[in-house]
Amino acid sequence: MLKRLPPAFRNFYFVTGITFLVWMVFLDSNDLINRFRLTSKLHSLENEKEYYQEKIQEVEKDRQELMGTTELLEKFAREKYLMKKQSEDIFIIEEKD
């Protein structure tokens, strides 16, 4: 029966190496498919982290500006949150594309 197999498949080290390779690529919990998937997820999460860190810096900058003077705080509240004084009316003008 062993005489029918090609010489490479009769070699113990070749069979062991192929078995190890198949195990590592397809059957192991840390197989290559999962590694590629996790690596791509890691890159996307790093990009998200970068984005949110930039947003945090922008918000922190705005916060420092607003807490400096009451005029800027009032302007921000009026523009961003449409707040007004008791005797004022607000008109919102939207431009159409």
Q: What is the pLDDT of residues 46-84, one digit of tens each?
A: 999 999 999 999 999 888 877 888 888 888 877 777 777
- Domain region containing 16: 1-29
Phi then psi for residue 78, to 5 deg, are -70, -45
- Asked if residue 78 and residue 37 are part of one domain, the reply reads yes
Q: Do 23 and 39 fall within a single domain?
A: no
Q: Number of structural domains, the chain?
A: 2
CA of residue 67 relative to chain centroid, distance? 32
Of 60 and 28, more confident: 60
Q: How far apart are CA 31 and CA 35, in angstroms?
A: 6
25 with 65, same domain?
Answer: no
Q: Is 88 within a domain? A: no
Query: CA-CA distance, 66 to 85, in Å (whole number)?
Result: 19
Cα 62 to chain center, whole Å?
25
* pTM over 0.75, yes/no: no
